[in-house]
Amino acid sequence: MESLKEKMMHTALLLLTQKKVDVVLGFQRGTIPMMSQPILISHPEKVDQLHWDSFCSINLANYLPQRKDKIAIFAKGCDSRNIVLQIQENQIKREQLHIIGVPCQGMLDRRKVQAELNDRLLLGVRETSEHFHLLGEGFMDSLERSGYLQDNCAICSHRNAVIYDEALAEPVLEQEGVERYEDVKAIEAMTAHQRWSYFEKLLAPCIRCYACRNACPMCYCPVCFVDESTPQWLGKSIDPTDTMTFHFLRAYHLAGRCTDCGNCEQVCPMSIKMRQLTKKLEKDIIELYDYEAGLSLNQRPPLDTYRPDDPQDFIR
Amino acid sequence: MVDRVIKKTELADFVARLVEKYRVYAPVREQQTTNFREISTADQVDLSGANTTLSPKSLILPQSETMFEFSLDRTSEKAGILYEIELDPLPRLIFGIRPCDAKAFELLDLNFSTPSHQDPWWARRRQITTLVGLGCNTPCPTCFCTSVGCGPFATEGLDVLLIDLDKEFAIQGITEKGQRLLDDMDIKAEASATKKEAVSAQQSSSLQSIKSVVPTEGLQDHEVNALFNAEFWDKVQFACINCGVCTFVCPTCWCFDIQDEVLKNNGLRLRNWDSCMFPLFTLHGSGHNPRGQKLQRVRQRFMHKLKYFPDKYHNGVACVGCGRCVQQCPVNIDIRQVFLLMNNFKI
C-alpha cells in the first residue's frame, strides 16, 4: 500500500509541475482510523498530502460532474466505470480528464472491522498484502483481508480501471467465478407478499438523510425528484410509503447505470443494505441486454438506445 | 450528591418498576446500530456501547410530528380550523442518556423554550420527560465534551445520574424531579452509599481518557463577516457530499420544515426535520436560495453552531462534543478541525 501512495505523490507531482492538469483528485488520510477524505490538490508542494489505503472507498467520480478544469483523477475499477458513464452522459469531457488507474484489491468495510473490535479502542490499522493489523492499546489483531471486504468488493469482477491514461501499477488479477446475485435470487424466489414485507423491513431504519443518493456518482440531477416542490412528488416525513418510494425510484433511476461501487451502503448511517435493489436491476439489464454499465465508451447504455430487435414486444 | 446505590442484579426490577409508571426509552442494539427505543424489559437495554448512532433528540423533537389536522370539506364542522393533535400525556423517561445528550436538550431550550417564547410541542415533551443519565466510563476517542462545557459525568440537564461501578450503580439525584423518582422507586438515600472514592476514581479516569480537545476561546472575538468570508471554507467544503448525516445524528441540530399533507379532504400539518445540507433548505418562494451552493450550506452549519449561536445566546457553542458527526460523516469532515480553523482565524 505504501508504494502505491508514493507512486501517487510522484505522479501527481509530475502532472502538476508539468502543468498537464490543473488539479489532482485523490484522498488524504482521515482524522480517525479507517477513514479518508477526498481532496483536491492544485499546488505541487501539497502532493505529500495524498494518501492511499483500503479505506479510500469513496467513489471519486462523484466529484467530477460539471467541473470546468483539467483534472487528474485516481480511479479504482468502479470509479473508472463511473467516469465512463459520466462521459457518456455528458457530465464531463474525456479530454478534461487524466485518469490514473489504481489496481484495487477490494476496500475494507470499516463496520465489519468495528464489529471485530468489541468496543476496544482502535488507534490505527497497518496493512500488508493479504492481511491487516488492528493496533490499539494493549492489543494487535492480525486479520485476513478477505473476510472484511466491503460486500460489493467481495463480488467485484472489475478491480482494474477500464479506462485510463496511465496505470499506477500492474493490474491485479480479476476475481473469477464470483456469484454476484445470491441475495437477489433469494428475493426473487419470494412470493410478492413475502417480498413486500422483506423490503418494508429492509428500509424501515431509513432516516431520509439521502447520503446514499448524494454519495452516488450517478445521482447528479440538478433537482432530484425528492426535492421537487412544484409539484411535490414525495412527502418529507418518514412515512414508510414515502421512504420506500424514494428507495425504489432511486434504484430504478440507476437501472443500467449502477456500477455497484457500494458507496450507497458505505455511507448509510443506518447500515441499510440497499444494493439489493440496484443489483436486481443490474441482473435484469445483463439478462435483457447483455450489458454491464460503464465498461466501454463505445457501448451506449441500453436505456438510451433503440434496437429493432428489442426483446420487449411493446416497443417494437 | 451521590447518596444511593443499586446493584446491577436489581436493575431488571428497577426497570420493570419504571415501565409501570413511564414510557421508558433506552439504548437498544439493532444489528449494526444502537438507538433509543421504547422498551418494556431491562434485557432489551444495551448500556455497553458508547454514544448511540442517532442522538435521542427525536424523543423531544420527533423527525416527523403531526401538529394539526384540518378538513377541506366545507360542510364539515372542522373546515377552516386547525385542530391541535393531542399529545400522548403519559410521562416519559429516557434511561441511559449520556450527559452530552442531556446538555443538548438544555441548549435547545434556549431556542424552543424561553420565558417569552414557548414552542408548545417541545416544551410539553420536555416537561413530561425525566432524564436518567449514565456517566461515561469509556469515552470515545472522538469525544471532546470537556472542551465545550460538558463532561463524562456532567449533570446539566439530567434529573438522575447513574455511575457504573462494575457491580453496582452509584446514583445521584440531581433535580427535585429526579429525587422524587428515586423515592417513588423506593431507592433510599443512605449515608453508606456515597461511594466517594470509587466514584471520584472513575470520574478522574474518564476525564483523563478524553484526549480530544478543541479551542473555543477565540470564537467570540472574531468579527462575524470576516469569519463568514474566510478563505478556509472552500477547503472545508470540498469533500462534502451535502447529505444530511451530520445534521440528523447531531443532538443540537434543530432546524425543521412545516408541510401540509392532504389525502382527499383530510389534511395534516407536519413538522419534519430539515437540514442545512439540503437544497430545499432556505429556498425562497421566488426560487432564490441564499444558500444555493455547497460552500454556503457547509458554512451555515458550522457558523450556526460555533458563531451565531454563541453570539446570540452567550451560552457557549451549539455543540456538546459527542463526536457523532466525526464518526459518521462519510467523507470525514471533522468538526474538531473546523473549531481550530474558526478559533485560530486571522484576517
pLDDT (average), residues A251-261 = 97
pLDDT (average), residues B181-198 = 87
Put simply, the answer to whether A237 touches B138 (Cβ < 8 Å) is no
Q: Which of B160, B175, B209 is the last residue of a domain?
A: B209
User: B9 and B83, same structural domain?
Assistant: yes
User: B297 and B230, same structural domain?
Assistant: yes
Residue A315 scores a pLDDT above 80: no
* pTM for this predicted structure: 0.95
d(CA B98, CA B51): 7
pLDDT digits (tens, 9 = 90+) for B285-312: 999 999 999 999 999 999 999 999 999 9
Residue A2 scores a pLDDT above 60: no
Cβ–Cβ under 8 Å, residues A161 and A284:
no
Query: Any alpha helices (H) in A142-274, and if so which ranges?
Result: 151-154, 182-188, 192-203, 211-214, 240-253, 263-267
Residue percentage of chain A with pLDDT more than 70:
99
Q: Is B129 on the interface with A (CB under 8 A)?
A: no
Put simply, the answer to whether A209 touches B248 (Cβ < 8 Å) is yes
Distance from CA of A82 to the nearest CA of B (A): 17
**Domain total for chain B?**
2
**In-domain check, residue B123:** yes
What is the average pLDDT score of chain B?
95
Q: What is the pLDDT at residue B80?
A: 85
Distance from CA of B84 to the nearest CA of A (A): 18
Helices A240-253 + A275-289 axis angle, to 10: 40
Q: Is B300 on the interface with A (CB under 8 A)?
A: no
Tell which residue, A308, A312, A254, has the closest CA to residue A281.
A254
Which of B245, B261, B333 shows the shortest C-beta gap to A211? B245
Residue A1 scores a pLDDT above 90: no
Q: How confident is the model at residue A184 (pLDDT cuts 50, 70, 90)?
A: very high
Task: Map residue B95 onto helix, strand or coil.
Answer: strand
Residues of chain A with Cβ-Cβ distance to B206 below 8 Å are none
**In-domain check, residue B83:** yes
User: B197 and B76, same structural domain?
Assistant: yes
Q: Is B204 on the interface with A (CB under 8 A)?
A: no
User: B112 and B10, same structural domain?
Assistant: yes
A157 CB-near residues (< 8 Å, 6+ apart): A174, A175, A176, A178, A180
Q: Which of B156, B189, B209 is the last residue of a domain?
A: B209
Residue B122 scores a pLDDT above 70: yes
**In-domain check, residue B117:** yes
**In-domain check, residue B266:** yes
Residue A3 scores a pLDDT above 90: no
Distance of CA A309 to the CA centre of its chain: 32
**In-domain check, residue B188:** yes
The ipTM, to two decimals, is 0.94
Distance of CA B92 to the CA centre of its chain: 16
pLDDT (average), residues A103-124 = 91
Residue A97, beta-bridge partner list: A71
Q: What is the pLDDT at residue B68?
A: 96
Which of B141, B328, B333 shows the shortest C-beta gap to A269? B328
Residue B314 scores a pLDDT above 90: yes
B12 vs B8, B18, B39, B40, B42, CA distance in Å?
8, 10, 12, 10, 5
Q: Would you tell me how many other CB atoms lie within 10 Å of the CB of residue B185?
A: 17
DSSP assignments along A70-136, one per residue: -EEEEE-HHHHHHHHHHHHTTSS-GGGEEEEE------B-HHHHHHHHTTPPEEEEEE-SSEEEEEE
Q: What is the pLDDT at residue B36?
A: 98
Q: What is the pLDDT at residue A257?
A: 97
Put simply, the answer to whether A39 touches B53 (Cβ < 8 Å) is no
User: B78 and B22, same structural domain?
Assistant: yes
Q: What angle do CA B241, A164, A75 make, to 5 degrees?
A: 30
Q: What is the pLDDT at residue A305?
A: 86
What is the average pLDDT score of chain A?
95
User: B233 and B325, same structural domain?
Assistant: yes
Highest mean pLDDT among A12-21, A302-311, B278-287: A12-21
Q: What is the pLDDT at residue B49?
A: 82
Its domain, for residue B290, covers 219-343
Q: How confident is the model at residue A312 (pLDDT cuts 50, 70, 90)?
A: confident
For testing contact with chain B, the best of A24, A25, A32 (most B CBs within 10 A): A32
Interface of A with B (CB under 8 A): 30-32, 35-40, 58, 62-63, 111, 115, 119, 121, 205, 207-211, 213-215, 223-224, 227, 229, 235-239, 266-267, 269-271
Residue A124 scores a pLDDT above 80: yes
For testing contact with chain A, the best of B37, B47, B214, B241 (most A CBs within 10 A): B241
User: B94 and B169, same structural domain?
Assistant: yes
Residues of chain A with Cβ-Cβ distance to B245 below 8 Å are 209, 211, 267, 269
Q: Output b/e per residue, A113-146; b: 16+ Cβ within 10 A.
A: beeeeeeeebeebebeeeebebeeeeeeeebebe
Distance from CA of B199 to the nearest CA of A (A): 22
Residues of chain A with Cβ-Cβ distance to B247 below 8 Å are 209
Residue percentage of chain B with pLDDT more than 70:
100
Residues of chain A with Cβ-Cβ distance to B58 below 8 Å are none
User: B233 and B85, same structural domain?
Assistant: no
Q: Is B297 on the interface with A (CB under 8 A)?
A: no
Q: Is B328 on the interface with A (CB under 8 A)?
A: yes
User: B150 and B129, same structural domain?
Assistant: yes
Residues of chain B with Cβ-Cβ distance to A35 below 8 Å are 332
Q: What is the pLDDT at residue A111?
A: 93
Q: What is the pLDDT at residue B219?
A: 95
Q: What is the pLDDT at residue A316?
A: 66
pLDDT (average), residues A58-77 = 98
User: B270 and B204, same structural domain?
Assistant: no
A57 vs A97, A105, A128, B33, B296, CA distance in Å?
20, 11, 18, 21, 26
pLDDT digits (tens, 9 = 90+) for A205-245: 999 999 999 999 999 999 999 999 888 999 999 999 999 99
**In-domain check, residue B214:** no
Helices vs. strands in chain B: H and E counts, helices first: 12, 11
Q: What is the pLDDT at residue B191?
A: 75
Q: What is the pLDDT at residue B2?
A: 87
Distance from CA of B115 to the nearest CA of A (A): 30
Put simply, the answer to whether B64 touches A58 (Cβ < 8 Å) is no
Q: Which of B209, B230, B248 is the last residue of a domain?
A: B209
Q: State which residue of chain B sits closest to A229, comparing Cα positions.
A: B280
pLDDT (average), residues B12-26 = 96
User: B227 and B135, same structural domain?
Assistant: no
User: B160 and B27, same structural domain?
Assistant: yes
Q: How confident is the model at residue B196 (pLDDT cuts 50, 70, 90)?
A: confident
pLDDT (average), residues A45-67 = 97
Distance from CA of A226 to the nearest CA of B (A): 10
